[in-house]
């Protein structure tokens, strides 16, 4: 039987509650306040996403995984596969391609055109600029047929690439972006495709900075209005259909004391050309002003050096092979701390790039902002027979 608890008077209860409240207040004052993330500006768009491509961090988003009509943003994937074919030697920039009846007939469906005709033999380089700068649906079809033999085979390759990247909210039905049942993507997936093109094909990406292009005497302006407004914007792609609204992927690059920094914005479903440009500009400017880039490790610089057992060398550097840059709220760069969790003991042989643990980056207040694989920075082959035997004995004693 439990002992009876004393019955407290109302006054005593009040005193205890007051003391408890004071204790809670004192604890809250002593505890470090969690850093508040900057709040993005209000945007007149259905979905959006802002990514710091340099640090691979999402800075702001709204409904970024919602499936949406991508309109001509589809052509970013189309261009990626063409650049891939060029890199693989399946095409050359100077190679001419035939203009099929199917490519020519794209003008009947409406939308943007490069205005190629079956009698023409445009070069791959010309078709790329017609697709990228003029957003030509006809150029997109001609390139798809030139790479894969048919539009259908090219679309299958687009979907295979999307699956390989893990894009769960993307499915392609055509190479142009014209509205079609089952053709969709999301702001996050579009950002992934755009960032991959920028990283994998920097020479090809330069086409997206062209302000205009003239083919067969027809001059057309790039519809990306930010190319004329902001000198740091060097791409990327506009899109419009009735279902999609006005859309824009925009990318901007700046050289900062810590190195190059690139931001990428995806804005979907605005109500005009001006709106997609102004909302994208607003988002990019906020990314520059509200966030700082901090370079923690240069490429090849170890985060830690640790012993290696049974190896030709006694220790190895661990870190992130490509270096590590993080993006933090403005002014929060001081006091960043890194910690490692690793395999122990570390036994040779070890390959460069082999993941052997986790690298964490935290703010001064203890908030984790990045978590990455901890990699071996240089290979460590096996030691000779005597070295392996000696380390085996030491491990046994250990």
Active site residues: 72, 75, 135
Q: Which has the closest alpha carbon to 264: 72, 60, 82? A: 60
Q: Is 49 exposed, middle or buried (0-12, 13-18, 19+ CB in 10 A)?
A: buried
Q: What separation in angstroms does the CA of 272 have from each of 200, 208, 252?
A: 31, 21, 21
CA distance 393 to 387: 10
Q: Which has the closest alpha carbon to 128: 107, 114, 112? A: 114
Q: Is 57 exposed, middle or buried (0-12, 13-18, 19+ CB in 10 A)?
A: middle
CA distance 374 to 342: 7
What are the beta bridge partners of residue 304? 318
CA distance 112 to 177: 11
User: CA triplet 30, 337, 24: central angle to 5 degrees?
Assistant: 15
Cβ-contact 79, 131 below 8 angstroms: yes
How big is the chain, counted in residues? 398
Q: Which has the closest alpha carbon to 174: 87, 268, 60, 73? A: 73
CA 113 to chain centre: 29
Cβ-contact 356, 375 below 8 angstroms: yes
Q: What are phi and psi of 115, to 5 degrees?
A: 70, 55
Percent of the chain that is helix, strand, coil (3-state, to 5):
35, 30, 35
Q: Which has the closest alpha carbon to 339: 317, 365, 358, 364? A: 358
């Amino acid at each position: 039987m439990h002992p009876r608890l004393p019955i407290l008077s109302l006054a005593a209860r009040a005193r205890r509650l007051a003391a408890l409240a004071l204790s809670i207040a004192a604890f809250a004052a002593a505890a470090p306040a969690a850093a508040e993330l900057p709040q993005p500006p209000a945007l007149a768009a259905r979905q959006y996403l802002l990514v710091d491509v340099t640090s691979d961090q999402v800075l702001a988003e709204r409904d970024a995984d919602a499936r949406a009509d991508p309109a001509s943003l589809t052509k970013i994937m189309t261009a990626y596969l063409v650049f891939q074919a060029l890199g693989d030697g399946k095409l050359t920039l100077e190679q001419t391609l035939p203009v099929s009846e199917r490519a020519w007939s794209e003008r009947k469906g409406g939308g943007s055109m490069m205005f190629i005709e079956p009698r023409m033999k445009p070069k791959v380089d010309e078709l790329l600029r017609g697709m990228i700068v003029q957003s030509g649906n006809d150029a997109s079809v001609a390139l798809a047929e030139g790479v894969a033999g048919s539009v259908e085979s090219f679309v299958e390759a687009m979907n295979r690439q999307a699956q390989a990247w893990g894009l769960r909210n993307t499915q392609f039905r055509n190479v142009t972006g014209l509205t079609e049942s089952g053709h969709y993507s999301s702001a996050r997936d579009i950002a992934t495709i755009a960032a991959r093109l920028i990283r994998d094909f920097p020479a090809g990406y330069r086409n997206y900075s062209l302000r205009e292009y003239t083919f067969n005497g027809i001059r057309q302006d790039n519809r990306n209005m930010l190319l004329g407004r902001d000198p740091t914007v060097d791409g990327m792609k506009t899109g419009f259909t009735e279902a999609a609204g006005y859309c824009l992927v925009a990318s901007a690059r700046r050289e900062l004391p810590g190195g190059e920094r690139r931001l990428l914005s995806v804005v979907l479903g605005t109500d005009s050309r001006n709106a997609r440009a102004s909302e994208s500009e607003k988002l990019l400017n906020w990314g520059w002003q509200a966030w700082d880039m901090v370079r923690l490790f240069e490429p090849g610089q170890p985060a830690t050096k640790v012993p290696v057992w049974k190896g030709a060398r006694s220790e190895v550097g661990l870190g992130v092979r490509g270096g590590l840059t993080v993006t933090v709220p403005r002014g929060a760069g001081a006091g960043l701390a890194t910690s490692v969790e690793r395999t122990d003991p570390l036994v040779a042989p070890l390959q460069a790039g082999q993941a052997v643990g986790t690298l964490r980056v935290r703010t001064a207040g203890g908030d984790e902002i990045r978590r990455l694989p901890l990699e071996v920075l240089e290979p460590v082959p096996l030691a000779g027979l005597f070295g392996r035997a000696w380390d085996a004995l030491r491990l046994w004693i250990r």
